[in-house]
Structure 1
Amino acid sequence: MSRSVCTRVCSQILKIGHDLPLILPPKLGGYWIDPPLQKFAETSPTSSHYGLDRETYDIMERDSEATYYQEFFRSRYHHSFTAVDPSLGPLLLSVCLEEEEKRLRVILRMRECSMHGVFSVSLFPNIPSAVELAKMLCDSVTVSRFDVVSYLKAPDLITAFDEHRVSLNFKFGVLYQREGQLTEEDILCNNEESEEFQEFLSILGDTVTLQGFTGFRGGLDVCHGQTGSDAVFTSFHSREIMFHVSTKLPFTEGDTQQLQRKRHIGNDIVAIVYQEGHTPFLSDVIGSHFLHCFLVVRRPFSNLEVVCLQVSVTAREDVPPFGPSLPDPPIFTESSLLREFLLTKLINAEISCYKAERFSRLELRTRSSLLEGLQAELSTRSQCMMGDSPVSTLSTSDGMRGVTEGSGGFIENFKRAIRVRSNSFDTLGGPRKTVGVPLPQKPKVTHTEDGSTFSFFTEYLIDIFVGNTDHLCWFLSPSPGCYRERWREVRHYRERTNQTDVRTDGWTDGRTDRQTDRCCFFVFQ
């Protein structure tokens, strides 16, 4: 919209008087407004709303199941499997047997989504295979087998994938619209902050100095002052929020577009507009591919003893509605209640905007790419670990340098080393030689009582049984909480085989209070 057209429209709008809505839709549509324009005519700005309960202000979760793996799997003994389905693409399955509850917990990750299920063990006469569990969650699965994941860093990589959309940090734009301003240029060129606008900013958060700021900075410069000296920041229900306030961002003389300001606000997804006066905000006035939603706040009457603020919302038509619902009428007289409402509404608005077509397509491409890369890495690293493929097929990064091709993999090296160590014990369990185990990753090193050195990793998810004649089991578990379960199995094995003495290296009698050495091995004599 040109400046001449905006001036003409503005003059026509201002002739209407004070009974103007906070937001006007664009001529070509494409936005929804809450409350609707026909509802606005019935709203009395002088009436009060009673019974508004801030406990109904629930913050939405962008992905409610993203932390299931961290919550239900990482602290338990579990397995993960990978496959590539001809139609579904890469698949990643995680299975955990919850023995106390007698149930199986399963997560199936696919390109479009992850599926989570909990099944009672009583449903199965025998423990089902990975393929059967995957088909129980998604009947479109056509693969005939899954490969077990035996890569040491798999839990970290899986957690990072599951939670790649989870964030407790948010950034929102703040625009200051004065009476008679209808264009993007006019709004972004405002430099002075009125006392009324400053009072509103104090409701949103605290004004902080950017130099040396250590909280979430939302893309602002905290070292060299290139994005202004101050900003508005707040913490809200364990979340950190940085506001890109237009009047606090750098002003460039002679630049009508104020690109320094638009560079930040135009890359936000949600912005809040504070109006002084009664000029409506046009939904599409700020040109941006990212901005999908605006919350508009106005003081309807300045001559009242009680300060009341009116709220309206507009968003692109493919953004789903989100809570909390506006009160009827949408008037707030208590600043603390308004703060709770606005911050919750802003967070939920951004989460809902991710469901719009532009962002959902981008998220699907990102997820597909991440899952494909994760499946390939887990599969290749696991083959290397088991000695099924040469190490040279992998990148030499992440501590892989120095491992020779065709070395047989970690498992084979480990078995050979353990057999040598097992033969070094006499009938009294005395050690005779020192053994070192070459590993394909930078290991943690522990020294046993006899002075021999064993290297090991944390968070290894499989059990290795080295021969019946060796009578040795090596357990590495994802957390100290797993040791009680592993120790119980060792005790049962000892009772079944009439073993009266168990030598423990790196752990003692199933204790779970040591946080540093997350592995143990038991030598039966």
Structure 2
Amino acid sequence: MSVVVGNSDFRPLQNNPTAKITGVHESLLQECEKDIIWYRENFFGKPHDNYLALESTKGPLAISVILDGGVYKALVRSIEGSERLTVEGSAVYQSAHRKMFKLGPKVDNLMSAFSSGIPARSLTLVKNPGLANELLSMEERQVIRSYKFGVAYCTAGQSTEADMLSNRHENISPGYKAFLQFLGETIELRGWKGYRAGLDVSGTNQTGSHAVYTKWQGYEIMFHVATMLPYNEKDKQQLERKRHLGNDIVVIVFQDSDEPFQLSSISSHQNHILAFVKPEGDGYRFTCAVKQGVPVFIPDIPDPPIFGKDAVSRDFFLHTLVNGERASYKSASFAPKISRTRSVLLCDVASKHLK
């Protein structure tokens, strides 16, 4: 399978001859760790201090600190994200006077022990008990526990985005049906209670009657399967399908032929990861293209890029998609928006408590 780049914003990912198909491994566990609501796990409901800054050299800040078994833990929230820091209590300087009266270390000494980059002089200790609930709510809003991925189908003679959005579900191949089963289970949208990814669950079938869904490693994943979305014979562009897949950061393209795909036909500003899958032997050949500006992410794709239909291969494939979307958040398309959202949330909390 070849992918034609042409005049495109996308670049193919390079395969790694030494890489192997692996299941759940350390890099995935590290990614999952980022989605643990650390404030709830380590601070909420326990005696701890919360510091706020509306203005500092790092912008608005919210820092939570707790002494846990002789170890200080800090959760530093800034417009750049949340940073989790730990330091042994013995490494934090305290004057003899403060030790004698059990006053604890000064905030300057405590913050410098965590990081020299924390602007301690801008921080104010806030003792309002209601702040804890607000910090927990803010953290919960920023933790990602669900993903939506587009899935498109290309058959013989098709090579463009318009082609892959024009196929009818009743005409798909047995191989494509098997691939959808590989991804997840087919669920009825009517009355669906799980993550719906913008799909209609009222029973009016505005976005089709069924979709493909899975729970994987604690995440919910809904697949926007183009052929399951409504088809409009009068609409050559299939805008209803385009509306969903065009807003997905990751789109899987299943190729049922050797026709090279024209990457330049992708017109969505949201699409940043294109995962091309083609049946090969008892498994699939996998090629990934990423939009310019998306940083390198793991796992590396092996060379040859072949994976099977087993559970380990499925872990590898979904791990690649999840990490690809995470990497896209750091691109120029998303990073400024995410920083602005964090800034608004932090400013709202700090403004309320630092009047």
Fold-level similarity (TM above 0.5): yes
- Shift in Å at residue 286 of structure 1? 2.1
Q: Does 1:217 align with 2:186?
A: no
Residue 177 of structure 1 aligns with an amino acid whose one-letter code is C
SS of residue paired to 1:85: coil
Deviates more, 1:66-75 or 1:50-59: 50-59
SS of residue paired to 1:61: helix
User: Which residue of the partner structure matches residue 416 of structure 1?
Assistant: none
Aligned length: 342
Shift in CA distance, 347/142, structure 1 to aligned 2, threshold 3 Å: closer
SS of residue paired to 1:158: helix
User: Which residue of the partner structure matches residue 308 of structure 1?
Assistant: 283
- Counterpart of 2:354 (choices 376, 379, 391) is 379
Deviation readout 1:10-39 (Å, 9 max, x if unpaired) = xxxxxxxxxx42x22133x54221346xx9
After superposition, residues 181-260 of structure 1 pair within 5 angstroms as 181-191=158-168, 192-223=171-202, 224-260=204-240
User: Which residue of the partner structure matches residue 456 of structure 1?
Assistant: none
Equivalent residues of 2:86, 2:114 under 8 A apart: no
Shift in CA distance, 131/92, structure 1 to aligned 2, threshold 3 Å: farther
User: Which residue of the partner structure matches residue 68 of structure 1?
Assistant: 38
Residue 61 of structure 1 aligns with an amino acid whose one-letter code is E
Deviation readout 1:343-369 (Å, 9 max, x if unpaired) = 121111111111111111111111111
Deviation readout 1:441-497 (Å, 9 max, x if unpaired) = xxxxxxxxxxxxxxxxxxxxxxxxxxxxxxxxxxxxxxxxxxxxxxxxxxxxxxxxx
How far apart are the structure 2 equivalents of 1:176 and 1:69? 42
How far apart are the structure 2 equivalents of 1:334 and 1:346? 16
SS of residue paired to 2:334: helix
- Shift in Å at residue 280 of structure 1? 1.8
User: Which residue of the partner structure matches residue 319 of structure 2?
Assistant: 344
How far apart are the structure 2 equivalents of 1:347 and 1:50? 18
Q: Does 1:150 align with 2:130?
A: no
SS of residue paired to 2:40: helix
How far apart are the structure 2 equivalents of 1:50 and 1:343? 16
Q: Does 1:297 align with 2:277?
A: yes
Q: Does 1:319 align with 2:299?
A: no
SS of residue paired to 2:220: strand
SS of residue paired to 2:265: coil
Q: CA RMSD of the aligned region, Å?
A: 2.7
Deviates more, 1:289-298 or 1:314-323: 314-323
Deviation readout 1:222-243 (Å, 9 max, x if unpaired) = 0021100111111112211110
User: Which residue of the partner structure matches residue 121 of structure 1?
Assistant: 89
- Shift in Å at residue 129 of structure 1? 2.3
Equivalent residues of 2:284, 2:308 under 8 A apart: yes
User: Which residue of the partner structure matches residue 92 of structure 1?
Assistant: 62
- Counterpart of 1:328 (choices 299, 303, 321) is 303
Name stretches of at least 5 consecutive residues in structure 2 with no aligned partner.
99-103
Q: Does 1:54 align with 2:23?
A: yes
Equivalent residues of 2:294, 2:328 under 8 A apart: yes
Shift in CA distance, 201/69, structure 1 to aligned 2, threshold 3 Å: same
After superposition, residues 398-413 of structure 1 pair within 5 angstroms as none
SS of residue paired to 2:60: strand
Equivalent residues of 1:93, 1:134 under 8 A apart: no
Residue 182 of structure 2 aligns with an amino acid whose one-letter code is I
- Counterpart of 2:264 (choices 279, 284, 289) is 284
Residue 320 of structure 1 aligns with an amino acid whose one-letter code is P
How far apart are the structure 2 equivalents of 1:189 and 1:145? 57
SS of residue paired to 1:256: coil
How far apart are the structure 2 equivalents of 1:334 and 1:93? 45
- Shift in Å at residue 256 of structure 1? 1.1
Deviation readout 1:310-355 (Å, 9 max, x if unpaired) = 1111101211222222233112343434322221211111111111
Deviation readout 1:150-180 (Å, 9 max, x if unpaired) = 3332112112223433122111000101122
Identity of aligned residues (%): 33
TM-score, L = length of structure 2: 0.87
SS of residue paired to 2:342: helix
- Shift in Å at residue 63 of structure 1? 7.4
User: Which residue of the partner structure matches residue 419 of structure 1?
Assistant: none
User: Which residue of the partner structure matches residue 138 of structure 2?
Assistant: 161
Deviates more, 1:154-163 or 1:65-74: 65-74
How far apart are the structure 2 equivalents of 1:316 and 1:195? 31
- Shift in Å at residue 246 of structure 1? 0.5
How far apart are the structure 2 equivalents of 1:226 and 1:219? 11
User: Which residue of the partner structure matches residue 25 of structure 1?
Assistant: 5
- Counterpart of 1:270 (choices 250, 257, 267) is 250
Shift in CA distance, 147/217, structure 1 to aligned 2, threshold 3 Å: same
User: Which residue of the partner structure matches residue 329 of structure 2?
Assistant: 354
SS of residue paired to 1:296: strand
- Shift in Å at residue 91 of structure 1? 2.5
Shift in CA distance, 160/62, structure 1 to aligned 2, threshold 3 Å: farther
Equivalent residues of 1:292, 1:315 under 8 A apart: yes
Residue 199 of structure 2 aligns with an amino acid whose one-letter code is L
How far apart are the structure 1 equivalents of 2:187 and 2:41? 35
Shift in CA distance, 210/189, structure 1 to aligned 2, threshold 3 Å: same
